[in-house]
Structure 1
Amino acid sequence: MESSNKEFYIIAEIDQQKKHIKIVELETSDGVPYYSCVIGEKEISQVRNETYGNWEQLWGNLSKEVVEQIGNEIAKQVTPP
């Protein structure tokens, strides 16, 4: 049974401004999750948690610090309590 994509919102600071970012969980063809980051109607980045534990940007122009901040917020949402 295939589940629908998860969507949730986080807040992250981009260019010294707090932004509400919609996160959409997607999967690669081999089942590895990655996350689309959307502000308004515009996708600003895609990120994923690599096997070595760091959050990496698949595409986009966010700084490494912002990617890490977004990744940490995503982890809070997707990690079971």
Structure 2
Amino acid sequence: MEKSEDAFEIEITDDQLTERFIIRPQHTTDGIPVYHCYLPDGTSIGELRQEPSGEWIQVWGDLANNSVERIGEAIAHHMA
């Protein structure tokens, strides 16, 4: 894999809590980027990618399905 663009920050807010994540995109040989997800302190928490169907999947990590979807939506919004 090779580095694509610089890292960016996303925020996910629910009724009572705002969470911040640092996202570092990376191109892959199949042309679909993988998004490395970090906490603000630099702790790696997972890797996501968006399938051609539009579904966000977790390549690595232990995130709940709803977290994968919410982080994926925030990444897609940032990249649009």
TM-score range, shorter chain: 0.7 to 0.9
Opposite residue 10 of structure 1, the aligned amino acid is: I
AA paired with 1:44?
Answer: I
RMSD over equivalenced CA pairs, Å: 2.0
Identical-residue share of aligned pairs (%): 36
Runs of 4+ in 1 over 3 A off after TM superposition: none
Task: List runs of 5+ in structure 2 lacking aligned partners.
Answer: none
Per-residue CA deviations over 1:10-38 (Å, capped at 9, x if unaligned) read 1136xx74221000110112322110001
CA contact (8 A) 2:12 2:71 kept: yes
Could you say which residue in structure 2 is the equivalent of 1:9?
Answer: 9
Secondary structure of 1:62's match?
A: coil
More strand by share: 1
Within 2, Cα distance between the matches of 1:44 and 1:3? 19
Q: Is the 8 A contact 2:23 2:35 kept in 1?
A: yes
Q: Deviations over 1:42-76 (max 9, x none)?
A: 11010011011100000111111000000000001
Q: Distance in 2 between matches of 1:25 and 1:76?
A: 14
Q: Paired residues, what number? A: 76
TM-score normalised according to structure 1 size: 0.81
